[in-house]
Structure 1
Amino acid sequence: MQRYFLEEDYTAKEQYEVVGEPYHHMVRVMRMTPGNQVYLVFANQVSIVAEISGITESAVCLVEKEKEQQEKELPVAITIASGYPKGDKLDLIVQKGTELGAAGFIGFPAKTSVVKWDGKKLAKKQQRLEKIAQEAAEQSHRQVTPTVALLDSEKTFIQQLTQFDMIVIAYEESAKQGEVSQLAQILQTVKAGSRILAIFGPEGGLTPAEVEQFMAAGGQPCGLGPRILRTETAPFYLLSAASYQLELLKVSN
């Protein structure tokens, strides 16, 4: 069943009207007709099963059949912050990170980032990544479309660190030194609803000076197992570990 994200909050109505891009996709791409059912996901994270009752020249009219009951979101909001990597690696991070439950993505120019984007390129890239996040959220039946922000300076990024309850720094030196318990301890003690920022360096990693800055803002360096992971792989490791600890273990208990 197709899933469509709407910008409005959910309120109980006799009928809902879908316009714009979702209308085009329903009518022109999927060629839906009255009687077809879809998921409608609202801005306040309520999702419903809705049935098409009619189609006009500019809107699809739907009626609610039932609310979606299964919880799809991680109990904590994890934002992935990536020092700009080369090529299309950020596309992959956003796509797969969305499927794994990330609440948001931040890109920033780290000291060892090779990629240099001006304001116009950043805006265009952010638009593309927002589209990737939306499509991945639809595909994975998320109840939230992750946010995407591409920053033009590391200083701007550091100024945003106060927005989070907890900051995790994926630091390869911690892994090299054999540290393996910090991330597990964080995930075992984190409270539901917490906002976690996980910082990852680009291909060249984070410099000691950067790590010191992040630690001064309350960040905790963590190793991600005994192996050194690529910049595009490390976020998936952390999100998978969070899902195991906060979702799978909860179900098994």
Structure 2
Amino acid sequence: MQRYFVPAHTWADKTIKITGDDAHHIMRVMRFQTGDEIICNHPDGQAAICKITILDNQVVYADIVSWLNDHTELPVNVAIAQALPKSDKLEWVLQKGTELGANCFLPFQAARSIVKWDEKRKDKKLKRWHKIVKEASEQSHRNKIPGVEPCKGLNEVIEVGKKFDVMLFAYEEEAKSDRYQSLGSVLQRIQNRQSILICIGPEGGFSNEEADILKENKFKPVRLGPRILRAETAALYTLASISYHFEEMRCS
């Protein structure tokens, strides 16, 4: 069943008003008719099966039929701080990271980032990023849409990290060491409902100076397997590992 995330102010009693791109999608793309059912998500994470009652130009009205009791969020709160990668790879991370359960994304400019953040294009970029995570949330039946922050510097990411229970950074030097700390060993010490921030470097990884700064600020370096991963692969490896550990392994 098609799912839509609807702003809180459009929910009134048992009727929901849908406008904008979602209304266009309902009427022009999916070509739904009155009587058809869709799923509407409230920003607080609740979802309901709704029956379309009115299709009026660019506005759709739907009545709540029943509330759903589905929970598709990770049992831990995971934020991905992703150094700006080349090309459109960040969009790939946003889309697939949303499907895998990330709660928030914090793009940042790293010393070795080839792409440089253009502040003049900030609003356009953020609008594009929010659209990507919204559509990925609908496709993957998430309860909530992940947040996407404006591009930051490493020091700002470190400051944000103080709000988290666990702060990690993927460091390829750990993969080369015999005395490494694996992601799996760290996950075994994390409890449900704790919050995790993991920093992923750009192509070429973190500089030695950045790694030292992160360690000084209580970020723990972790190894993501014995192989060196691409920047866009590292975030997805991390999320898949977290999902397996907290959702699959604990259910077996």
Residues 1:52 and 2:58 aligned together: no
Q: CA deviation at 1:198?
A: 0.9
CA contact (8 A) 2:174 2:181 kept: no
Query: 1:124 maps to what in 2?
Result: 124
Distance 1:91 1:14 in 2: 36
CA contact (8 A) 2:10 2:17 kept: no
- Among all aligned residue pairs of Structure 1 and Structure 2, give the percentage whose two residues are the same amino acid: 38
Q: CA deviation at 1:61?
A: 1.8
Query: 1:163 maps to what in 2?
Result: 163
Residues 1:248 and 2:248 aligned together: yes
Return 225-234 or 4-13, whichever deviates more.
Answer: 4-13
Query: 1:25 maps to what in 2?
Result: 25
* 1:183 partner letter: L
Query: 2:85 maps to what in 1?
Result: 85
Query: 2:173 maps to what in 1?
Result: 173
Query: 2:232 maps to what in 1?
Result: 232
Give the unaligned 5+ runs of structure 2. none
Distance 1:98 1:78 in 2: 11
Quickly say closer, same or farther: Cα 1:182–1:226, change in 2 above 3 A. Answer: closer
SS at structure 2 position matched to 1:74: coil
Q: CA deviation at 1:215?
A: 1.9
Residues 1:113 and 2:101 aligned together: no
Displaced runs of 4 or more, over 6 A: 9-12
CA contact (8 A) 1:10 1:46 kept: no
Aligned-residue CA RMSD in angstroms? Answer: 1.9
Return 90-99 or 48-57, whichever deviates more.
Answer: 48-57
Using the size of structure 2 for normalisation, the TM-score is: 0.93
* 2:248 partner letter: L
SS at structure 2 position matched to 1:55: strand
CA contact (8 A) 2:182 2:225 kept: no
CA contact (8 A) 2:81 2:106 kept: yes
Give the unaligned 5+ runs of structure 1. none
Distance 1:187 1:10 in 2: 40
CA contact (8 A) 2:5 2:43 kept: yes
Distance 1:13 1:121 in 2: 39
Distance 2:69 2:178 in 1: 42
CA contact (8 A) 2:98 2:133 kept: yes
Q: CA deviation at 1:222?
A: 0.3
* 1:210 partner letter: E
User: Per-residue displacement from partner, 1:197-242 (whole Å, max 9, x unpaired)?
Assistant: 1101100100122122222222111001111111010111111111
Q: CA deviation at 1:65?
A: 2.1
Quickly say closer, same or farther: Cα 1:11–1:196, change in 2 above 3 A. Answer: same
Query: 2:74 maps to what in 1?
Result: 74
Q: CA deviation at 1:182?
A: 3.6
Distance 1:9 1:189 in 2: 40
Using the size of structure 1 for normalisation, the TM-score is: 0.92
Query: 2:195 maps to what in 1?
Result: 195
CA contact (8 A) 1:107 1:150 kept: yes
Distance 1:140 1:213 in 2: 36
Distance 1:9 1:84 in 2: 34
* 1:72 partner letter: T
Quickly say closer, same or farther: Cα 1:15–1:150, change in 2 above 3 A. Answer: closer
User: Per-residue displacement from partner, 1:92-112 (whole Å, max 9, x unpaired)?
Assistant: 111111111111111111011
